[in-house]
Chains A and B, each alone.
Chain A
Amino acid sequence: MGRTTIRLESGSKAVGPYCSGGRGGRLLFSSGQTSLDPEGNAIGVGDVETQTVETLKNLVAVLAAGGASVEDIVKTTVFLPDLRHYVSMNEAYAKFFPKDPPARSTILAPLALPELLVEIEAVAVLGD
């Protein structure tokens, strides 16, 4: 009831029993995004800045498919396997949110593939 799922065939395509995002009311929840290309290969192996940029691009694609943009994001959760990548991730991340960045939590956690250095999920709020 009242729920819309977002399915993509491009970079942010879901590769498991989930969709790329779900929307209900004015809220849009994305699945966790990474820097995997549509074939499932990691972009920017060993380079957390490149992976952060590619991950955020994939996130933006999910939001766009649901009618939202970067400015609509209220919360992100960043998953990092290695705390040493925190500063570099932050630098790339900050460029995406130059003004009034969303709330964020950063969690140290291993990811699904060893070559992935960052994963990001987001919640966005759309206009009425």
Chain B
Amino acid sequence: MPRTVISSGDSVAIGPYSPGAGGGGLFFLSGKAALDSSGNVIAPGDIAAQTEATIQAIEAVLADAGGTLDDVVKTTVFLSDMRHSKGMNEVYARKFTGGRPARSTILMVPPAVDLLVEIDVIAMIGE
């Protein structure tokens, strides 16, 4: 099997998907958001706290795969409202230090009313 699937760990997937999978030197995470294991929104309406919780969830999956935020090469940030850009960026910049990954920021229709941010990550792990 050429690919590796992370199927357990601190971050549990709540659907027909795994927290992360990779191969060929790259590791792909499922989109992360500030949701608890029951799917409830953490810190409704608070962009700073949600960004923090989202990146912590990302770190948990990366750790399961043997990586850290330093291994991330690309992120896609989905925001429910571009007015949250500043609040998200402040936390994001504090978490991603040094050589920051490439990033795209996209306006999303949030899947839950109070969910303000979701982040997709690709890391270089393995090989």
Chain A interface residues (CB < 8 Å from chain B) = 25-27, 71-77, 83, 86, 90, 93-94, 97, 100-109, 123, 125-128
Contacts and interface: CB of A to CB of B under 8 A. Distances in A.
A44 to B, nearest CB: 19
B23 A105 contact: no
B16 A97 contact: yes
DSSP class of B's interface residues: helix, strand, loop or mixed?
loop
A73 B1 CA distance: 11
Given A72-B2, A72-B3, A75-B28, A125 B23 contact: yes
B108 interface: yes
Contacts of A100: 5, 7, 18, 21
Contacts of B120: 77, 105
Nearest to A95: B16
Nearest to A127: B2
Given A93-B16, A100-B5, A102-B18, 18 more contacts: A26-B23, A72-B2, A74-B28, A83-B109, A86-B111, A97-B17, A101-B5, A102-B5, A102-B17, A104-B15, A104-B30, A105-B31, A105-B118, A106-B31, A107-B106, A125-B22, A125-B24, A127-B2
